[in-house]
Amino acid sequence: MGIKDSALQFGTDIENELIKIRADQVEVAQDLTERINGVADRVKRLDDKVTTKFAQIDAKFEQVDARFDQIDAKVDQIDAKVDQMGAKVDQMDAKVDQMDAKVDQMDAKVDQMGAKVDQMGATVDQMGATVDQMGATVDQMGATVDQMGATVDQMVGRVDQMQSTQTEMTHILLAIQRKLDVN
């Protein structure tokens, strides 16, 4: 073999190697393209899953917002009821004040009647003959005093009921406040 033949053989070998290298590069490029496409498909599926999850989370947030709106509406209703109860308590306080004034008036009347009974007792000692008549008058006054005492007892019972109601309302308001603080 001569130089020419060796050079041609060398050139042919290099050309064959270049063809093999190019074929390998094409094969590697094809493999990379398939892998990139596979990764792209996976990324797309992951993106679809993430988008779906975010949509579900957004829907849940909307549900939670709707529930908060409902709770806010209920709290507003409770506030209105509490305001109404407060107005009723104020009315009850005014009535209790009126009852206190009436009780004070009754106490003054009872004191006046007691003074009259004392005067009558002295008169009874002086007038032995009219003791029976005055005893009847004193019995009538005693019945009036008993009626007044019963009325006072009823008023005291009502005041106790109002205080109990006010205490219950205070407990309700405190429970509402605790719930509001918790939320």
- One-letter amino acid for residue 65 of the chain: D
| CA–CA dist 31, 105 (Å, integer) | 108
Number of domains in the chain: 1
| CA–CA dist 9, 15 (Å, integer) | 10
- Give the pLDDT of residue 138: 76
DSSP 107-171: HHHHHHHHHHHHHHHHHHHH-GGGHHHHHHHHHHHHHHHHHHHHHHHHHHHHHHHHHHHHHHHHH
| CA–CA dist 16, 23 (Å, integer) | 10
| CA–CA dist 169, 175 (Å, integer) | 10
pTM, to two decimals: 0.34
Give the model confidence (pLDDT) of 131-147 as tens digits.
566 567 778 888 888 88
| CA–CA dist 177, 163 (Å, integer) | 21
- Give the pLDDT of residue 114: 84
Query: Given the structure tokens 């209920």, which residue do they identify?
Result: 74
Give the model confidence (pLDDT) of 103-127 as tens digits.
888 888 888 888 888 887 777 567 6
| CA–CA dist 65, 79 (Å, integer) | 21
Q: Which domain holds residue 114?
A: 3-182
